[in-house]
Amino acid sequence: MTVIQRPKARPADAIKDASMAKQKAMMAAHYDRLAAVPETGEKVAATFVPGNLNELIMCFDLVNNLPEVNAIQNGLRRQSGAYVMEAEKQGHSEDVCTYVKSDIGMMAKGNIGPNGKRLPNPDVLLLSYTGCFTFMKWFELLRREYGCETIMFQTPYMADGKITPDMITYMVKQLKQDVIPKLEKVSGVRFDIDRLREYLRKSAKAEDDLVKTLQYAKTKPSPIDAYFGGIYYIGPIFGAFRGTDDAIDYYRFLREEVEQRIKEGKGPVTPDGDMGKERYRLVVEGPPNYTNFRQFWKMFYDEGAVVVASSYTKVGGTYDFGFRHNPDKPLESLAEYCLNVYTNRNLPMRVDMLTNYVEEYEADGLLINSIKSCNSFSAGQLLIMREVEKRTGKPAAFIETDLVDPRYFSAANVKNRLESYFQMIEQKRGGLRGAA
Amino acid sequence: MLDKPKTATADIVKRCEELFTDLNFNAAREWKAEKPGRIVVGFMPYYAPRELVHAAGGLPLGVFGGGDQLEVIHGDAYYQSYICRIPRSTIELGVSGRLDFVDGMMFPSICDVIRNLSGMWKLMFPEKGARYIDLPHNFEDDLGGEFYVSELKETCRWLEAMTGRPITDDALRASIAVFNENRRLIREMYELRADQPWNAPSSELYLLLRAGMVIPVEQHNELLRGYLDAVREQSRPMKDNSRVVVCGAFCEQPPLNLIKSIELSGCYIVDDDFILVTRWENSDVALEGDPLKNLAVAYLHDSKSTPPKYEPDESKKGLYLVDSVRKNRAEGVIFAFASFCDPGLLERPILQDVLKKHNIPQIAFKYAENSGQMQPIREQAGTFADSIKLWSGA
Ligand code: SF4
Ligand code: SF4
């Protein structure tokens, strides 16, 4: 088990981005744990961020490996471009999700993780099928390579904007009759529901602090950036740490750090230090670009634009409407968690959510970063944009990039669009002032 | 009403072509206008439980995009350039009023584009119902089966709210029976084409299938019977073509010209995945007992394999294509997927690998429903047909 030490310094005395350093240490420790699998003999479950059943996986002493996070790491380290091209050379279409191609390209090049060490082969592919069609084909592709047990766990889509008892029944039955017995077989560990309850109790605690942290963005100026910074915040809880003491410690530490920033009247921390004056407050829909992450972020903070709420930080679970993992209903709550993943919510729910964000976080408008290869997010975003604009009366804008394919990040285009968007916001403000 | 089919295939094909090119769906409009209280329920390609709409006294109407004739004016404003074509032409059909007579739309859970389109429909056409049909990827009766029965029940309730009348089990059984007959006739047509592809060309077969999407199933059955009889009575010249299976056109439709181009290039299509809903089940759906359960059982255990569907057993992955090649004495496979189609294009490398392992020749290209330029496809398919002959001669 990875043990993360709480920094000795109190948050007030800590270096300005201590939470980020702590988060990085956690992620690095997890990659080291994965790399050490040949020595430790631990078994590995590959699974996806949305619908990631970390608490259940831990009940079987399995280590969680998330292919999307690997792709993100490859994007940040500028290796994904070569991996994507490698996959295309093997015959994968230029039209499909670049996460998949980055993963397949990485595999072809020896499966080297971000720490320079080889990632272990999975012992089981837990195909938690939530919110994205690509997941299914992705694991069918990996299954051919690894020849290991593959478990399909289907989450029905929230097409009518509600969770029905039939959906929960289907999911709980799959867990009982299919998922858990197969995980027992792969791991050789018997399922203990009390162990699950304990992990879920811990999850809920960390979830409380995550929600508080993200909601602090309602403060003016916002002490956090809920998109670029938010990506660091969600790492542990959407990854291999939900349900652990480490996650509880991290999110408490993060919350305290952010509270301290509010006391000091500070805005978010950026890679270049504290952000200057907050000039624009935005809500962002869609994943970010990772190949030019810092450059992309800089285009915002250089202009004093802070993201106060984002849908991407809900992709591994939506907690801000009250859902928490519940130890008293362990399996039902795993089901409910999967159902609530952002991309498993229907389009009208997504519109409502973004509209609320614009209003509750007093944002200047909605910005959509449309990802070329991600139909799950992207199909329908132009309508989302128009609807949110109509309902809030605030201007919206649309930019297009890709997650991990550098060929689709055009810095000049994105910058131009952002600049005109900020001008549009200014004009709108001027208009409002004029009208007042 | 349709004319009683005459013995010439040309007359029947002409009628089908008229139905195919009519993007105002006049046949369905007329059917609805004939009797007050009738409903028309649209469904998108792949699979939909049409029996339920029929049992509700309605007409299930296939909405299969705009083809190469529809000018998309509004639809493009709803979709980025990197999303396939069918959702934008479907929006176009809606926005332009061509579906104004439709009472509801069913969206099968084929991919994220259609999934999100179901929500767009709710926002854009709130007065028309939108029903997402969540299909099971678990194939156990008491898991995926039970869930699917609940989905079907929910769909019945949705339809009942439209008509104000309950859907009875007997009505469902009668509907299953008439669709069983439809599927039987279509299977017969597929067998006939595989036997004599020169006598029942695929461009005709395709039009026959498309006709079934816009007219009542009873009329379609008559049409099919007429066509089968007419084909058996005629003899067209046989060419020295190569026999191929076409795979990939399960959702966005290939232009009719694409099918014709493949045939003109020297290939006989002997199996395909066009309009899969017409022969989703491999044999009759049972009539005894609980009809919804019977539909679910058929879905789980007796239906076609296709890229959007999960295959739980790795050892069976892609073998359906090998089986189809063997059964239909095909010599190669043409993969034709819609551009930007996730289910198809993600699956393609797996299927290609399976075929390679079985030494089955293959080629692949992409299309859009409005692709106009067929020359490259004709050349590619032509070279493929020639090379097949060379290999088989060697
Ligand atoms: S399609 Fe989108 S949601 Fe799905 S795996 Fe790719 S990036 Fe993630
Ligand atoms: S063509 Fe493919 S991606 Fe497009 S809607 Fe159909 S199945 Fe989905």
pLDDT in tens, B147-190: 999 999 999 999 999 999 999 999 999 999 999 999 999 999 99
pLDDT tens string A147-200: 999 999 999 999 999 999 999 999 999 999 999 999 999 999 999 999 999 999
Residue B241 has pLDDT above 90, yes or no: yes
Q: Is B150 on the interface with A (CB under 8 A)?
A: yes
Q: Rounded to 10 degrees, what is the CA torsion of B106, B126, A362, A204?
A: -40
For tokens 């964000």, name the residue.
A357
Q: Is A154 on the interface with B (CB under 8 A)?
A: yes
Q: Calculate mean pLDDT across residues B62-73.
A: 94
For tokens 């080889």, name the residue.
A118
Position B7 scores a pLDDT of 54
Q: Find out whether B308 and B110 touch, Cβ atoms under 8 Å.
A: yes
Paired sense of beta strands A149-154 and A269-270, if any: unpaired
Residue B393 has pLDDT above 80, yes or no: no
Q: Two tokens at A174?
A: 């799959």
CA separation, residue B131 to residues A378, A393, B50, B84, B159 (Å): 21, 30, 13, 21, 10
Residue B6 has pLDDT above 70, yes or no: no
Q: Calculate mean pLDDT across residues A305-315.
A: 97
Residue A13 has pLDDT above 70, yes or no: no
Smallest-distance ligand from the CA of B343: 2
Q: Give me the residue from B109, B312, B345 closest to A96, CB to CB.
A: B345
Q: Which residues, in sequence order, are bridge partners of residue A274?
A: A269
Q: DSSP labels for A75-127?
A: HHTT-HHHHHHHHHHTT--TTS-HHHHHHHHHHHTT-B-TTSSBPPPPSEEEE
Q: How far apart are CA B112 and CA B109, in angstroms?
A: 8
Q: Is A95 on the interface with B (CB under 8 A)?
A: yes
Q: How far apart are CA A5 and CA B222, in angstroms?
A: 76
Residues 6+ apart with CB under 8 A from B208: B12, B13, B16, B189, B223, B224, B227
Residue A4 has pLDDT above 70, yes or no: no
CA separation, residue A343 to residues A50, A331, B340 (Å): 8, 21, 19
Q: How far apart are CA B45 and CA A228, in angstroms?
A: 39
Extended strands (E) in A130-203: 149-154
Q: Rounded to 10 degrees, what is the CA torsion of B380, B382, B388, B394?
A: -110
Name the strand (E) or helix (H) holding A306: strand A305-310
DSSP state, residue B83:
S
Q: How far apart are CA B83 and CA A379, in angstroms?
A: 7
Confidence of residue A226 (pLDDT cuts 50, 70, 90): very high
Q: Indicate yes or no: CB of A178 within 8 angstroms of CB of B138.
A: yes
Q: Find out whether A399 and A370 touch, Cβ atoms under 8 Å.
A: yes
pLDDT tens string B255-264: 999 999 999 9
Task: Report CA B130 to chain centroid distance, whole Å.
Answer: 20
- Among A390-404, B137-151, B378-392, the minimum mean pLDDT is found in B378-392
Mean pLDDT of chain A: 94
Q: How far apart are CA B158 and CA B181, in angstroms?
A: 26
Position A400 scores a pLDDT of 96
Q: Find out whether A24 and A104 touch, Cβ atoms under 8 Å.
A: no
Position B389 scores a pLDDT of 86
Confidence of residue B280 (pLDDT cuts 50, 70, 90): very high
CA separation, residue A65 to residues A36, A82, A240, A241, A344 (Å): 13, 22, 8, 11, 22
Paired sense of beta strands B104-108 and B58-62, if any: unpaired
Please state the pTM of the whole predicted model: 0.95
Helices (runs of H) and strands (runs of E) counted in chain B: 14, 8
Position B8 scores a pLDDT of 86
Paired sense of beta strands A273-274 and A269-270, if any: antiparallel
| Closest-approach residue (CA) in chain A for B350 | A141
Position A313 scores a pLDDT of 97
| Amino acid at position A225, single letter | D
Q: Which of A383, A132, A159 is nearest to B112 (CA)?
A: A132
DSSP three-state, residue A192: coil
DSSP three-state, residue A285: strand
- What percentage of chain A reaches a pLDDT higher than 70? 95
Q: Which of A408, A95, A381 is nearest to B340 (CA)?
A: A95
Position A6 scores a pLDDT of 43
Which residue's alpha carbon is at the smallest distance from atom 7 of ligand 1?
A374
Q: Indicate yes or no: CB of B124 within 8 angstroms of CB of A383.
A: yes
**Position with higher pLDDT, A236 vs B394:** A236
Residue A14 has pLDDT above 80, yes or no: no
Confidence of residue B367 (pLDDT cuts 50, 70, 90): very high
Q: How far apart are CA B14 and CA B8, in angstroms?
A: 10
Q: How far apart are CA A235 and CA A226, in angstroms?
A: 13
| Amino acid at position B300, single letter | L
Q: Calculate mean pLDDT across residues A301-317.
A: 97
Position A429 scores a pLDDT of 87
Position A431 scores a pLDDT of 77
DSSP three-state, residue B197: coil
Position A18 scores a pLDDT of 83
Residue B294 has pLDDT above 80, yes or no: yes
Confidence of residue A436 (pLDDT cuts 50, 70, 90): low
| Closest-approach residue (CA) in chain B for A371 | B82
Size of interface A-B (CB pairs under 8 A): 158
pLDDT tens string A372-401: 989 999 999 999 999 999 999 999 999 999
Position A20 scores a pLDDT of 85
Position B276 scores a pLDDT of 97
Confidence of residue B391 (pLDDT cuts 50, 70, 90): confident
**What separation in Å is there between the alpha carbon of A377 and the centre of ligand 1?**
8
Q: Is B137 on the interface with A (CB under 8 A)?
A: yes
Confidence of residue A435 (pLDDT cuts 50, 70, 90): low
Residue B269 has pLDDT above 50, yes or no: yes
Residues 6+ apart with CB under 8 A from B122: A346, A347, A348, B130
- Among B121, B123, B353, B365, the strongest candidate for a mutation testing the A interface, having the largest count of A CBs within 10 A, is B123
Mean pLDDT of chain B: 95
Provide the residue ranges of all domains of chain A, joining segments of one domain with +. 18-435
Give contacts of B349 with chain A, Cβ < 8 Å.
90-92, 141
Q: Calculate mean pLDDT across residues B323-328.
A: 98
Q: Is A405 on the interface with B (CB under 8 A)?
A: no
**What separation in Å is there between the alpha carbon of B178 and the centre of ligand 1?**
41
Q: Two tokens at A207?
A: 């979830």
